[in-house]
Amino acid sequence: MLRCDLHVHTNFSFDSSATMEEYAARAVELGLQAVCFTDHIDINPRRDTFRDFPFDRRIRCFERVKSLFGDKVLLLQGYEMGEPHLHPKETAFLRSLHPDMIIGSVHDPEVLDGISDRREYERAYDRVVRDMVRDGDFDVLGHADGLRKWHDDYREDLPFLCDTLALCASRGIVPEINTSSMRRAGTPPMPGLDAIARYISAGGKYVCVNSDAHTVRQLYEFPDIAAQLPRGARQCLFVQGRLLESM
Ligand SMILES: [Zn+2]
Ligand SMILES: [Zn+2]
| pLDDT digits 0-9 by tens, 170-228 | 999 999 999 999 998 888 999 999 999 999 999 999 999 999 999 999 999 999 999 99
Whose atoms come closest to the Cα of 143: which ligand?
Answer: 2
Give the chain's domain count. 1
Distance CA 203, CA 239 (A): 23
Whose atoms come closest to the Cα of 213: which ligand?
Answer: 1
Q: How far is the CA of 13 from the centre of ligand 1 (A)?
A: 7
On the question of a cis peptide bond just before residue 191, with omega within 30 degrees of 0, the verdict is yes
Q: How far is the CA of 3 from the centre of ligand 1 (A)?
A: 22
Distance CA 190, CA 167 (A): 17
pLDDT for position 219 = 98
Beta strands in 21-157 (DSSP E): 34-41, 43-44, 47-48, 74-82, 101-105, 140-141
Q: How far is CA 110 from the centre of its chain?
A: 20
Interacting residues of 142 by C-beta distance below 8 A, sequence separation 6+: 7, 80, 103, 104, 105, 176, 178, 212
Which DSSP category does 100 fall into? S
Q: How far is the CA of 97 from the centre of ligand 1 (A)?
A: 21
Distance CA 83, CA 108 (A): 9
Q: How far is the CA of 214 from the centre of ligand 1 (A)?
A: 7
Q: How far is the CA of 156 from the centre of ligand 2 (A)?
A: 18
With 90 as the cut, is the pLDDT of residue 247 above it?
no
pLDDT for position 1 = 87
pLDDT tier for residue 64 given thresholds of 50, 70 and 90 = very high
pLDDT for position 58 = 98
Q: Say which amino acid occupies 35.
A: V
The pLDDT mean for the chain works out to: 96
pLDDT for position 149 = 85
pLDDT in tens, 17-62: 999 999 999 999 999 999 999 999 999 989 999 999 999 999 999 9
With 90 as the cut, is the pLDDT of residue 125 above it?
yes
With 90 as the cut, is the pLDDT of residue 76 above it?
yes
pLDDT tier for residue 153 given thresholds of 50, 70 and 90 = confident
Q: How far is the CA of 234 from the centre of ligand 2 (A)?
A: 22
pLDDT tier for residue 131 given thresholds of 50, 70 and 90 = very high
Q: How far is the CA of 227 from the centre of ligand 2 (A)?
A: 23
- Domain hosting 75: range is 4-244
Q: How far is the CA of 70 from the centre of ligand 2 (A)?
A: 26
Q: How far is the CA of 7 from the centre of ligand 2 (A)?
A: 9
**Would you say the C-alpha torsion 128, 134, 139, 145 has a positive or negative sign?**
positive
Distance CA 20, CA 13 (A): 11
pLDDT for position 150 = 84
pLDDT for position 186 = 82
CATH of the domain at 35: 3.20.20.140
The answer to whether 12 touches 54, Cβ cutoff 8 Å, is yes
